[in-house]
Structure 1
Amino acid sequence: MNRLARPAGRRGTTRVLLAAAACLALVTGCAGSDGSDTPDTPGGKNSSEASGAFPVKLDNAWGTTEVTKKPVRVATVSDGDTDIALALGVVPVITPDVEDGGPVPEYKQRAIDKLGAKKLKTYDDTDGTDYEAVMAEAPDVILGMNTWAMDADYAKLAPVAPVVTYTDKNHADTLTWQDRLLTAAKALGMTDKAKQVIADSEKALKDAAAAHPELKGKTYTYAVVHPEQITFMSYSDQDAGVFEQLGLRKTDKAKKYDAKKNAISLENLDELEADVLLVTYPFGDEGLLSAAELEGNKLFRSLDVVKRGNFAVIPSKNSLSSAMAYPDALTSPWVTEKLTPILADAVAGR
């Protein structure tokens, strides 16, 4: 399991992680692509696309998109697509207002500042995509690689501008962030840039692992406190993701759990035992338990991993837990940057 797409309208960390009980995507995503959306390499059958030449034709689940010339005005209909544009160095002409007027996540603000844009122009996505707002910006292309709403949106967006989206409706959940990035980059004539973004993300992980050899071989458990349950997220067939790319490994207890069977009862908190325990509270006081309630629980406090101090909380307020669950081209290196010191401190018992 590799990749979950972020919803088109993301209402903070709470909404983003609603699906995480069923699937946690760490940095590489929530199920591998079947390859049908993976752009061909230069010299392949679509070498003109790979080289940035136009026109570019891309099949999708609703038809065919043709981009006749290099786009200048790019609109996005999901937060993940906004991140794709920013990662490629493009400031969208309009995006959904997923922050609802709240603070922009650090990783996104960094990109905006780097590109010299004071803030992004947004539309209210409370009721979904605002087609009129998108049309008013006269985009050359619309990125929709990360939305679950394309089945309803495509017919209304296609007359506005070429829509770049996935070739199979199931890919809303299954494409890796790398595949999404490369497909969008084809339409923008920026395949080389996309490959560099991927290489930089991989290098960040390798460098972090090399800098922290103490992580290698340590077992870990990652749990999320949802409203209905405490969820054992690091189950056996879960994607290795960032934790294991940094050297950690799953516990033997992980074999008891899968995407459909992942609830931990308060009587079985000892299932969380590991060399390192990581917990996040994306729903705050609306979760099954508050942080104070869980961390004050007698059985929880009796766990060896807690008594040793090898326990850490993954912050949700700064979007880290959300970015871990829904990785993309912009968040992946930031997750590595922010998560690595948390893991290092947990291993050290700090």
Structure 2
Amino acid sequence: MKKLVAAAAACLALVTACSAQDRPAQKAAAPGTAGGVYPVTLTNAWGGDTIDKKPLRVATVSDGDTSIALALGLVPVITPDTEDGGAIPEYKKRAMDKLGVTSLKTYDDTDGTDYEAIAAEAPDVILGVNTWGMDTDYAKLAPIAPVVTYAQKKDADTLPWQERLKVAAQALGKSAEAEAVIGGNRKAIADAAAANPAFRGKTYTYVVVHPEQITFMSYADQDPGIFEDLGLRKTDKAAGYTAKDNGVSLENLDQLDADVVLVTYPFGDEGLLSASELAGNKLFQSLEAVKNKHVAVVPAENTLSSAIAYPDALSSSWVVEQLTPILAKAVAGG
């Protein structure tokens, strides 16, 4: 399974062959000054540079960055091969169909970013606002083309997809398009929430069955994403879990109880428990949510579970479309 990339980005990184160490860092341009007006000068966690004209050839270093390019109406000149020969996710295929392409040129990212393959495409900029690998990649990408990335290293884990999209859009002269994407997503959520008033105020627990543990994914500081946008809220038990301490032992499955419990099995038979094994667990069966049938499985095979975990500019509205009926059934219960 390919590595999944998480949220990242706050400011543009526009770097040429000169390294950040060779010159002083430059101040970021004022917000709103780069909506198609060049040159654009912005900073990043490794330095900064100026992009002189509107980029046309864009390379990406993560699937989330590919989503950003497609959402802004650009077909990347090269992207990592995140599909592993599998089917293209529906939300990505829709965007590609709209842009009139059936496939994307890719490089094998099994061993990480392929710098030579990216250089061979002579990109105008490289998008890296949605990756954890910039600490390793930056020095090797910067000599190829300006790198659009985040302002602080901690942003790799914290910034929402909307901010990452705005960062990229500022560099690409696509700020108006970015606002349209954000507005469309906001409307999709608002419409779904209005159509499902029963969601409001219901507590939820989102559980991911990993190979090594059952994970309390809706921990206190976890990005609430679509669940809370639709009106649900985390349980009080969420305060006892963090990104680094979110495992639930079989003896503590009662911690999962909520008005609604959602479970996903992205690793299939390689998970700690199969769906049937968890459903047959006596303690799990004792949960009020289980007894009243307020439980639902979030499918992984159509990439919904990963899209929930790692929202991006392209998948968010599709997640609303796919998740809303699952939530509605779970809230209604038996």
State the TM-score, normalized to the length of structure 2.
Answer: 0.89
Contact kept in structure 1, 2:11 and 2:42, CA below 8 Å: no
What is the Cα deviation at residue 46 of structure 1?
5.0
Q: Which residue of 2 aligns with 1:195?
A: 179
Aligned pairs (5 A) from 1:321-336: 321-336=305-320
Distance between the aligned counterparts of 1:71 and 1:237, measured in 2? 36
Distance between the aligned counterparts of 2:102 and 2:12, measured in 1? 34
Distance between the aligned counterparts of 2:52 and 2:91, measured in 1? 32
Distance between the aligned counterparts of 2:212 and 2:223, measured in 1? 23
Aligned pairs (5 A) from 1:1-350: 11-12=1-2, 15-16=3-4, 45=30, 47-49=32-34, 51-349=35-333
Structure 2 counterpart of 1:215, one-letter code: F
C-alpha spacing 1:156/1:235, structure 2 compared with 1 (3 Å): closer
1:59-93 Cα deviation digits (max 9, x unpaired):
12222232211111111111111000001011101
C-alpha spacing 1:259/1:134, structure 2 compared with 1 (3 Å): closer
- Residue 30 of structure 2 aligns to a residue whose secondary structure is coil
What is the Cα deviation at residue 205 of structure 1?
0.9
Distance between the aligned counterparts of 1:147 and 1:36, measured in 2? 14
Contact kept in structure 2, 1:58 and 1:164, CA below 8 Å: no
Contact kept in structure 2, 1:140 and 1:162, CA below 8 Å: yes
What is the Cα deviation at residue 260 of structure 1?
3.7
Distance between the aligned counterparts of 2:198 and 2:223, measured in 1? 22
Greater CA drift, 149-158 or 305-314: 149-158
Contact kept in structure 2, 1:83 and 1:328, CA below 8 Å: yes
What is the Cα deviation at residue 340 of structure 1?
0.7
State the TM-score, normalized to the length of structure 1.
Answer: 0.85
What is the Cα deviation at residue 224 of structure 1?
1.2
- Residue 66 of structure 1 aligns to a residue whose secondary structure is strand
Structure 2 counterpart of 1:261, one-letter code: D
What is the Cα deviation at residue 131 of structure 1?
1.4
Structure 2 counterpart of 1:328, one-letter code: D
Distance between the aligned counterparts of 1:190 and 1:203, measured in 2? 20
What is the Cα deviation at residue 36 of structure 1?
6.1
Distance between the aligned counterparts of 1:341 and 1:109, measured in 2? 22
Contact kept in structure 2, 1:78 and 1:146, CA below 8 Å: yes
Structure 2 counterpart of 1:236, one-letter code: A
Contact kept in structure 1, 2:205 and 2:258, CA below 8 Å: yes
- Residue 142 of structure 1 aligns to a residue whose secondary structure is strand
What is the Cα deviation at residue 274 of structure 1?
1.6
What is the Cα deviation at residue 294 of structure 1?
0.7
C-alpha spacing 1:150/1:268, structure 2 compared with 1 (3 Å): closer
Distance between the aligned counterparts of 2:222 and 2:151, measured in 1? 25
- Residue 33 of structure 2 aligns to a residue whose secondary structure is helix
Q: How many residues align?
A: 319
Give the unaligned 5+ runs of structure 1: 1-10, 18-24, 39-43
Distance between the aligned counterparts of 1:341 and 1:162, measured in 2? 43
Distance between the aligned counterparts of 2:244 and 2:156, measured in 1? 19
Distance between the aligned counterparts of 1:77 and 1:61, measured in 2? 17
1:116-137 Cα deviation digits (max 9, x unpaired):
0111111111111111211111
Contact kept in structure 2, 1:65 and 1:163, CA below 8 Å: no
C-alpha spacing 1:137/1:259, structure 2 compared with 1 (3 Å): closer
Question: Aligned-pair RMSD on alpha carbons?
Answer: 2.1
Greater CA drift, 335-344 or 268-277: 268-277
- Residue 168 of structure 2 aligns to a residue whose secondary structure is helix
Contact kept in structure 1, 2:12 and 2:168, CA below 8 Å: no
- Residue 206 of structure 2 aligns to a residue whose secondary structure is strand
C-alpha spacing 1:189/1:343, structure 2 compared with 1 (3 Å): same
Distance between the aligned counterparts of 1:294 and 1:46, measured in 2? 49
Contact kept in structure 2, 1:52 and 1:189, CA below 8 Å: yes
Distance between the aligned counterparts of 1:177 and 1:227, measured in 2? 27
Give the unaligned 5+ runs of structure 2: 14-28
